[in-house]
Amino acid sequence: MTEFVCNSCGERYPENTKEYRCKCGGLFDLVTGKTTFDFDKQLSIKDLSLWRYEEALPYTGEAASKITMGEGLTPLVKVQDGLLGKAEYFMPTLSFKDRGAVMLVLHARKMGFNSIAIDSSGNAATAVAAYSARAGIKCSVFVPESTSEKKLAQIKAHGAEINLIKGPREASGATAREFVETNDSFYASHIYNPLFYQGTKTYFYEVFEQLGGRFPDGFIIPVGNGTLILGAEKAFEELQSAGFIHKWPRIIGVQASGCAPIYKAFKDGLDVVPQIESSGTEAEGIAIAAPARGEQILKVIRKSGGDMVAIDDDETLKARALLAAKGIYVEITSAVNYAAYLRIMAENGGKLWVIPFCGAGIKSS
């Protein structure tokens, strides 16, 4: 049974709660038992998807059998010496968000919801729309008016109801929350619901397995709402608790210079992330001016001995073109990772880094 706990006051909520955060204003974490996953058994496991790690997940492959599309186990691609890219654009909806979306839709299905709502800059909404369609659940998405037309076309193709919201990304979230408060709809939030991070943690399980039972020296990860970094926290904690690793790899978080509240808070030595006024960025997937879990993201990066980097749009677009010249076509938001690697490469020679190719290039103009 899944149970939620407030990370502020400690109050617990049952798995069928419709609340997306605690009454005190705190955010939910997931109550989990000790991870029993055994990497030594991997060679005998035939499931070539994230469900090979079902012992460490809130749901099993059998439970997911009616909606899974074989998500997970994406390849590691050599970009250049010292750098590997994990090709998340091989996912069913062409982005890493499938990892968390399948968990949220499974949960909604188990709880008996017939309607799902999600706010997103595009990729999470696409993923939830796709899995909702497979589960036979109505899906309403709330996205900024500035969302890529190609992402909107993909969401529409899955039969979801699209609501275009004026204003910054935060306005989409506020409208979605108003919607679920007045409708019998499950809030499939990749920001508030910790089940999403149970999915994204499998990214790091896979890297650990693909590298022969070890981690690289560090991960370079784009940061908007921090869904991958929060997944890293879960994976690192579980692998360390099980004795597979003794220290965390470094995490370098990357934000766009035009919208970099976590970068600013990190460099200013703050423990919280004040909301900023975004000046805009081409990297729409990480344009989050007020990240709800900013404090938690800061803690994870610092615990890893990591750092933050802010990248200008011209650096991002140049990095995207350089990747394309290597045969790797990613959406604009994904290119901030390579731009960050090029920035830090000089001072980090001789190390192995892994970056996510978060989404396919066809998602961006």
- Residues 347-364: pLDDT tens digits? 666 799 999 999 999 988
So what's the pLDDT on residue 238?
A: 93
The tens place of each residue's pLDDT in the chain, 365 residues long, gives 679 999 999 999 999 998 999 999 999 999 876 666 676 666 567 789 999 999 899 999 999 999 999 999 999 999 999 999 999 999 999 999 999 999 999 999 999 999 999 998 789 999 999 999 999 999 999 998 988 888 899 999 999 999 999 988 889 989 999 999 888 899 999 999 999 999 999 999 999 999 999 999 999 999 999 999 999 999 999 999 989 999 999 999 999 999 999 999 999 999 999 998 888 899 988 999 999 999 999 999 999 999 999 999 999 999 999 999 999 999 999 999 999 999 988 666 679 999 999 999 998 86
Q: How far apart are CA 126 and CA 240, in angstroms?
A: 33
Cβ neighbors of 81 (< 8 A, separation 6 or more) are: none
- Residues 166-199: pLDDT tens digits? 988 889 989 999 999 888 899 999 999 999 999 9
So what's the pLDDT on residue 168?
A: 81
So what's the pLDDT on residue 33?
A: 66
For residue 321, count other CB atoms closer than 10 A to its CB.
10
So what's the pLDDT on residue 42?
A: 61
In the chain, what are the domains? 1-31 (no CATH), 76-93+194-363 (3.40.50.1100), 98-187 (3.40.50.1100)
So what's the pLDDT on residue 35?
A: 62
Q: Do the beta carbons of residue 135 and residue 112 sit within 8 Å?
A: no
Which parts of the chain fold into alpha helices (H)?
Answer: 98-110, 123-135, 149-157, 169-182, 195-210, 227-241, 261-267, 294-303, 313-325, 332-344
Q: Which one, of 88, 84, 64, 67, lies nearest residue 76 by Cα?
A: 84
Q: How far apart are CA 74 and CA 76, in angstroms?
A: 7
Q: How far apart are CA 259 and CA 98, in angstroms?
A: 25
So what's the pLDDT on residue 120?
A: 86
So what's the pLDDT on residue 79?
A: 97
Q: Do the beta carbons of residue 222 and residue 276 sit within 8 Å?
A: no
pTM of the shown model:
0.95
So what's the pLDDT on residue 46?
A: 77
So what's the pLDDT on residue 280?
A: 87
In sequence order, the β-bridge partners of residue 117 are 140, 187
Q: Which two tokens stand for residue 94?
A: 């062409």
